[in-house]
Amino acid sequence: MSYQILACHGGETSRDSTLAVLKSNVSSYCDEVVSMDVPSTLKFGTFDSLIKLMDELAKTDANVESILRRIERQMAELGSPDYQILVRQKTVSVEAYVRSFMWDDTKFPRNRYLADNLQTMTSTVARLDEDIKTKTFQYQDVKTSLTNMTKMKGPGTSLTSVDLVDILTPAVVTDGDFVNKEHLYTVLVIVPKQNEADFLKTYEKCDPCVVPRSAKQFKRLVNGTLGPIDDKDGNTLWRVICFKNSVDALRRGLRECKCSVREFNYDPMASKNQAAEMAKTDSELKKKEQELKRICGCAFSDCFVTWMHLKAVRCFVESVLRYGVPANFHSFLVHVPKAANQKPLKGVLADTVFKNSTLFGQSYIADAKGAEGEEEYYPYVCLPFSALQEKAA
């Protein structure tokens, strides 16, 4: 949604007459041209303060837009963003709000100095930004916790790194599979399928304190068939019982047949407790997500409203500096649907609509040709902006 805020000197011409001339000349490039409610009675003090304020407004405008875009991206990441503006207890679309913009004296009284209103705008957006950052951090923290709980589960994981709590459940482990006494200890062995025969020949010889014939392969029921527990690399899971002081010797001895040893303390309640903790974390994540969506929606609305008022202030300041006091200017909003229309639109505005000095203040312009490297100068105030971030093609 590409827009331009335009302003010209009022002269002796009414706003409606100016609007009619504008519409008749730019209808080929703009799908809508409307008057914009920029108050001409805003308080600013001296011209020096106005010149100083102009630079500050441009910087604040860029900062507010960057925060607004960040909120947009956050809403998009949360899925199906619904960009809405709350104005006068009614919810309207961004497009509707922009095209029917009206100055809000409740938020930014026009009888208050511009510098004070600007300070209110800056502090409002900074507070919104901080609130979003806080809620985003809380959401990401819970999301990371849930990710850490689930990343070592499911297909595609390896027995050397998978969370064994989900694998060695009471449905798989039988009484006596795990022995953990004063001296005896049960270790798990990850065995490549092609090396199972070598493993069975080797493990008892690794240390005298390895219990003979204690190797057992863990199996589970899949689609009614009992089969070995394996992983994506073709490894299977076994247990071996040995003395606690012989674990290191067993680990070294099994390296020759490319087997690895994992120590694991079996708890029949662990899988149930972990599932409950995951369910709790998942519920907390959904709660945090809803909170973040809600605050993003509110922050987007408030930030956008502030941004549009900031645009209106910039239009006022540039018009006063350009055309003098008392403020006498007409402001408009045009919607340019295609990027290709921008260049010819500029030409029509500069060479036709605002060219005649008897129309809208051409006589107030000195040399429209700026020095090399300076910002391009037009015989009218022009503030282009995109209401929403342009989507990548």
Q: Give the span between the Cα atoms of 376 and 385, in whole angstroms.
A: 16
Contact at 8 Å (CB) between 44 and 320?
A: yes
The predicted structure's pLDDT at residue 361: 41
Per cent of the chain over pLDDT 70 is 91
pLDDT band at 315 (very low <50, low <70, confident <90, very high): very high
pLDDT band at 67 (very low <50, low <70, confident <90, very high): very high
Considering the chain, what is the average pLDDT of its residues? Answer: 87
The predicted structure's pLDDT at residue 225: 86
- Kindly report, residue by residue over 178-237, the tens digit of the pLDDT: 998 988 999 999 999 999 999 999 999 999 999 999 999 999 888 888 899 988 888 999
The predicted structure's pLDDT at residue 82: 82
Q: Residues 53-65: what's their mean pLDDT?
A: 94
Q: Give the span between the Cα atoms of 26 and 34, in whole angstroms.
A: 12
pLDDT at 72 > cutoff 50? yes
pLDDT at 342 > cutoff 90? no
pLDDT band at 391 (very low <50, low <70, confident <90, very high): low
- 4: tokens are 């331009």
What pTM does this model have?
0.77
Out of 3.30.70.100, 3.30.1490.100, 3.40.50.300, 3.10.20.30, select the CATH number for domain 171-267. Answer: 3.30.70.100
The predicted structure's pLDDT at residue 337: 84
The predicted structure's pLDDT at residue 274: 86
Out of 1.20.1460.10, 1.10.10.10, 1.20.1740.10, 2.130.10.10, select the CATH number for domain 49-155+269-320. Answer: 1.20.1460.10
Domain ranges of the chain: 1-35+333-393, 49-155+269-320, 171-267
Cα dihedral 98→99→105→109 (10° resolution)? 60
Q: What is the phi/psi pair of residue 183, to 5°?
A: -115, -35
- Kindly report, residue by residue over 130-176, the tens digit of the pLDDT: 999 999 999 999 999 888 877 656 555 788 888 888 889 898 999 89
Whether the link from the prior residue into 208 is cis, omega within 30° of 0, is: no
- Kindly report, residue by residue over 250-285, the tens digit of the pLDDT: 999 999 889 999 999 998 888 888 889 989 999 999
The predicted structure's pLDDT at residue 323: 86
pLDDT at 349 > cutoff 70? yes
More confident residue, 52 or 368: 52
Residue 157, Cβ density class (10 Å: 0-12 exposed, 13-18 middle, ≥19 buried): middle
pLDDT at 351 > cutoff 80? no
Least confident of 217-231, 341-355, 372-386: 372-386
pLDDT at 353 > cutoff 50? yes
Contact at 8 Å (CB) between 210 and 218?
A: no
The 8-class DSSP code of residue 364 comes to: G
- 80: tokens are 């199906």
pLDDT at 375 > cutoff 70? no
Q: Give whole-number Cα distances, 350 to 4, 20, 102, in Å.
A: 14, 17, 27
More confident residue, 367 or 244: 244
pLDDT band at 75 (very low <50, low <70, confident <90, very high): very high
